[in-house]
Amino acid sequence: MNMTSLQRTAAGISSFLAVVAGSIYGRDGQAAPSALDSLPTSESLRGTAGLVLHRLEIVDPGSRAGSARLLVRFMDDDADARGGPGTIAVSIGKKVTLVPAVRRPGKAFTVPASNVDIQHWRLDDKDILVYVRPNDEITFLADACAIWTLSSARLNPNVGSPDVACQIAKAPCSSGWRGLTDRPAEGDDRCPSGESQEATKFCARTGTVSVKAYTDTQIDLGVVGADDKSVQKVGPRTAAEFGALFERCSIPTLTVAGHTTLLVIGFGERWSLLLGSGGRLSGSASLAAGARSKVD
């Protein structure tokens, strides 16, 4: 290799390091204001092991009345092409942890939880509302439908929740329950004996959401990836009430003035949301009568 080639190689390495350093310290050499923002960007790490695939941040955990377990077990399907797995950046408070994107063993975190408060999380550029009760166990996974999913006893019909039933597909679900897009697995012992997978379906206890606002506001209700929207008006005396359930292939959304929030609402959960100034959503939650928080 001649000197010109060496110079070009050195210049390339310097440019790469400058991008990474710039993302960590900022152009003025000062520390970046957000721990998550200080991580090297996906672009600066492209083609290398350690690519930051997703950034999961617990923004507002509510009253911190208890704790729950968050397990990050996200599989990087493209790891071989980069010479190693990417990472998931998990931010809880001021601490950021980079978790290798491998299914096992994954990494467990203790996260705040409350019987009442709905939490505000952020995944990449998406705002998420989620109800985390004390002693809940939630897993962050890769998924073929939406790239990612959250799984728990109240979010995943395959976990065995008593708020999910398997029945003949042609029969309507019971009042207060709704059919799910996920099909039962072959041989699920909750399903009618002798019926094929195609002939059965899951029914789950419906979640419900009530939304009010300080001032009269228009909101759009929808599902990720679907064009159809339900436009409703809310205000101090006018509430929008609707049924909703988080599913891996059907994530409910609430949009205000062009800003969309994902609603990770589980089986039998009852949410009461308030739209504050600046479009910020906050609220409380509980379980419907008869709904169960965990699988026994």
Q: Are 273 and 211 in contact (CB under 8 A)?
A: yes
More confident site: 93 or 201: 201
pLDDT, tens digit, 9 for 90 and up, residues 92-113 = 988 999 999 987 788 999 999 9
Q: Are 202 and 179 in contact (CB under 8 A)?
A: yes
Query: Distance (Å, rounded) from C-alpha 34 to C-alpha 39?
Result: 9
Six token digits for residue 110? 């203790």
Six token digits for residue 75? 């599989």
R_g of the chain, CA atoms, integer Å: 22
Summary mean pLDDT of the chain? 82
pLDDT value at position 284? 95
* Cα distance from N-terminal residue to C-terminal residue, the chain: 67
Residue 294's pLDDT band, with cuts at 50, 70 and 90, is low
Query: Distance (Å, rounded) from C-alpha 265 to C-alpha 128?
Result: 10
Query: Distance (Å, rounded) from C-alpha 214 to C-alpha 227?
Result: 28
pLDDT value at position 290? 67
Residue for token pair 């600066």: 44
Residue 193 pLDDT > 90, yes or no? no
Q: Quick one: CA torsion of 161, 77, 68, 39, rounded to 10 degrees?
A: -160
Question: 91 CB contacts (<8 Å, ≥6 apart)?
Answer: 35, 36, 55, 56, 57, 58, 97
Peptide bond into 33 cis (omega under 30): no
Closest CA to 264 of 282, 275, 250, 279: 250
Query: Distance (Å, rounded) from C-alpha 274 to C-alpha 284?
Result: 9
Alpha-carbon separation of residue 209 from 36, 129, 224, 265 (angstroms)? 31, 12, 17, 9
Alpha-carbon separation of residue 158 from 73, 162, 179, 188 (angstroms)? 17, 11, 14, 9
Residue 149 pLDDT > 80, yes or no? yes
Say what the pTM is.
0.80
Task: Tell the CATH topology of 207-287.
Answer: Immunoglobulin-like (2.60.40)
Query: Distance (Å, rounded) from C-alpha 231 to C-alpha 175?
Result: 25
CA 246, distance to chain mean position in Å, is 9
CA 50, distance to chain mean position in Å, is 22
CA dihedral for 265, 281, 65, 36, sign (positive or negative):
positive
Six token digits for residue 220? 């759009």
More confident site: 279 or 77: 77
Residue 46's pLDDT band, with cuts at 50, 70 and 90, is low
CA 72, distance to chain mean position in Å, is 12
Order across the sheet with 269-275: list the strands.
240-244, 207-213, 269-275, 281-287
Q: Are 134 and 65 in contact (CB under 8 A)?
A: yes
Domain with CATH 2.60.40 in the chain: 207-287
User: In this predicted structure, which of 17-31, 32-46, 120-134 has the lowest mean pLDDT?
Assistant: 17-31
pLDDT value at position 292? 61
278, amino acid identity: G
pLDDT, tens digit, 9 for 90 and up, residues 225-238 = 777 788 999 998 89
